[in-house]
């Protein structure tokens, strides 16, 4: 009897690239554990996403950076619920004297739960009540990479931090030293059901300068033109890209290409 041939399994990585996993187990060296089958995280290729309303762009561009809550962020349209914002002002980042509100929050995926709630108009305790009534396309996504976000601060504990769970669920963020951040990203990457990608956050201390933004993703041409007009006001040349799937229900986790 001929044994059935199994098709290779197709998976989507944290970086949005599709790979084929071999059905054969990895070769083992006698006396050692099985080698890991996952590619190490490359900070250059891992994208992260900051959500804000288009009305907040003037203050962001004027500051030359996306600011953390405690650094002076003053959104015209606040996406966050007041209770959620207050909680983050007391939630500690372990290994530092910082709290979560000292950081600019980034989603690890365009399929993140909180972003899906916003783009479907679903109530979410982390979002302001008015957020459910606004079109997703009235928001923008600042897109950058892990490498751009951390810059040369890999020796500085607390320069960045990461969590694979909702901060409100754990009450704190544990991984704030660069080696721990990389290990945590690796764990999140290996999570087969994607739950940690959908729940987690990458945090950047104080601010992310605009020169570290790779692009601003928008949902349609109208918002693209509006963003470009505000950029021109401040003589900025940040790339703006129309990518409707990011703003459609269930349309996340799409590669930039």
- Residue 53 known to bind ligand: no
β-pairing verdict for 18-21 and 9-12? antiparallel
pLDDT band of residue 255 (cuts 50, 70, 90) is very low
Does residue 50 have a known ligand-binding role? yes
Q: Is 99 helix (H, G, I), strand (E, B) or coil?
A: strand
**Region of residue 21 (left: phi > 0; alpha: psi -120 to 50; beta: else):** beta
* Residue 113 known to bind ligand: no
Domain residues of the chain, as ranges?
A: 47-247
pLDDT digits (tens, 9 = 90+) for 54-89: 999 999 999 999 999 999 999 999 999 999 999 999
Using the predicted structure, report yes or no on whether residue 257 has a pLDDT greater than 60. Answer: no
Question: pLDDT tens digits for 22-31?
Answer: 444 444 444 4
HSE-CB at 69 with a 13 A cutoff on CA atoms is 20
On average, the pLDDT of the chain sits at: 86
The whole-number pLDDT of residue 37 equals: 53
86 carries an active-site annotation: no
Under a CB-based contact definition with an 8 Å cutoff, are residues 59 and 53 in contact?
no
Question: Which of 47, 116, 126, 201 is flagged as catalytic?
Answer: 201
The answer to whether 88 is a known catalytic residue is yes
Token pair belonging to 209: 């300068």
- pLDDT, tens only, 100-146: 999 999 999 999 999 999 999 999 999 999 998 999 999 999 999 99
* Catalytic one of 47, 88, 224, 226: 88
């Amino acid at each position: 009897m001929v044994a059935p041939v199994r098709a290779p399994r197709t998976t989507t990585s944290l970086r949005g690239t599709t790979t084929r996993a071999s059905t054969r187990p990895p070769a083992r060296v006698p006396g050692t554990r099985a080698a890991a089958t996952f590619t190490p995280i490359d900070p250059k290729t891992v994208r992260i996403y900051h959500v804000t309303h288009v009305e907040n762009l003037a203050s962001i561009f004027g500051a030359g950076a996306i600011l953390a809550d405690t650094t002076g962020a003053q959104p015209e349209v606040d996406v966050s619920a007041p209770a959620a914002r207050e909680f983050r002002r007391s939630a500690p980042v372990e290994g530092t004297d910082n709290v979560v509100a000292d950081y600019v929050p980034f989603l690890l995926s365009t399929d993140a739960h909180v972003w899906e709630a916003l783009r479907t108009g679903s109530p979410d305790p982390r979002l302001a009540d008015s957020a459910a009534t606004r079109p997703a396309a009235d928001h923008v996504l600042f897109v950058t990479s892990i490498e751009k976000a951390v810059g040369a601060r890999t020796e500085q504990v607390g320069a960045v931090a990461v969590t694979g769970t909702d901060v409100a669920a754990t009450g704190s963020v544990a991984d704030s030293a660069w080696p721990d951040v990389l290990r945590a990203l690796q764990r999140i990457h290996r999570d087969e059901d994607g739950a940690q990608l959908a729940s987690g956050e990458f945090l950047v201390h104080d601010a992310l300068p605009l020169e570290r933004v790779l692009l601003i993703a928008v949902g349609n041409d109208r918002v693209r033109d509006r963003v470009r007009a505000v950029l021109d006001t401040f003589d900025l040349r940040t790339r703006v890209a129309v990518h409707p799937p990011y703003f459609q229900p269930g349309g996340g986790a799409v590669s930039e290409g």
